[in-house]
Amino acid sequence: MRNTRRSLQAAVAVSAATVALAACSSQGGAQNEGGGAAAEGESYTIAMVTHEAPGDTFWDKIRAGAEAAAANHNITLNYSNNQDAGEQSTLLQNAIDQGVDGLATTLPTPDAVGPNVQKAVDAGIPTVAFNAGINDYRNYGVTMYFGSDEDLAGQTVGTKLAAESPGHTVCVIQEQGQVQLEARCAGVAKTQPDTEVLYVNGRDLPAVQQTIGAKLQEDPSIANVVALGADIALAAGQAKADSGSQANIATFDLNADVAQQIQDGGILFSVDQQPYVQGYMAVTSLWLNLTNGNDIGGGGPVLTGPSLVDESNIDTIVEYARNNTR
């Protein structure tokens, strides 16, 4: 664990050098004049394709980790994203057509995205999955996965709420049908059975706030609102304030504002999947595979979460959240 922590701390320092990278294409390069394996070795091009939605700050951490790894390992990183499943699938096809050396992708809608992932594998492109699709990546020939066990994460939330804030719980899903989000709320319900799902349009945060606020006004017995993303949690907090509700807010994922809210007592806790690590490991694992034939995880997922962030450890973590690495 100490070695891993040192490695990630080093990656944080490197990531500062990547700020000037282009928004949709990042050039990594280990500029070590003194030599070294990464600086002297062959340069590779790796495509990263995600379901990032515009304005979702969660993905800034994925990007930061991926760019740090690219800079460390002499990699050109081509990042692209679209929250629409069909468009994401097209981006995967583009990466295949470009003949990239490696591919890292999310699988939020496996039926739509998976066939092109299988195409990449069949074309001989080393491919890893991360963030979404933990139960599906093997179906498309992928052997490495980096992310959280979302069912376990959901159960972790439900268990903590049952102990600290028992009562009726609303779990807010911002993109209906995405497998990782549905799994989170299903997990919450396993250990906090008095849980209902509320679907909102995560692409319209004012509407999210209004929908949650209306729900809180309609049912003052609600004890907890569980958000599945940091931006949704902040909208829920404002809805709580506007409605006069006494419900507690808990969330998945973390950003600087949520970390501050946890420190100030406005949000009860977060279950973090450590997206910086997901981006960093997705790129690094491909580099290791390309340069040394390595496979990580023995065919099973490498878990980056759930990692619980609450009043007991927030004073340490808040600084990392501000630096965009946690």
| pLDDT tens-place string over residues 230-281 | 999 999 999 999 999 999 999 999 999 999 999 999 999 999 999 999 999 9
| pLDDT tens-place string over residues 285-315 | 999 999 999 999 998 999 999 999 999 999 9
The model's pTM is: 0.83
> Is residue 47 helix, strand or coil?
strand
Cα separations in angstroms, 172 against 39, 133, 163, 229: 46, 20, 20, 9
Q: Average pLDDT for residues 144-166, to the nearest whole number? A: 97
Which residues neighbour 312 within 8 Å (Cβ) at sequence distance 6 or greater? none
| pLDDT tens-place string over residues 59-103 | 999 999 999 999 999 999 999 999 999 999 999 999 999 999 999
Q: pLDDT value at position 40?
A: 55
Q: How far apart are the first and last CA of the chain?
A: 17
Q: pLDDT value at position 16?
A: 38
Q: pLDDT value at position 189?
A: 98
| pLDDT tens-place string over residues 9-36 | 444 443 433 333 333 444 444 444 333 3
Q: Distance between CA 71 and CA 14 in Å, rounded? A: 7
| pLDDT tens-place string over residues 31-52 | 443 333 444 568 999 999 999 9
Q: pLDDT value at position 57?
A: 85
Q: Distance between CA 216 and CA 277 in Å, rounded? A: 35
Q: pLDDT value at position 201?
A: 95
Q: pLDDT value at position 222?
A: 98
φ/ψ of 142, rounded to 5, equals -85, 135
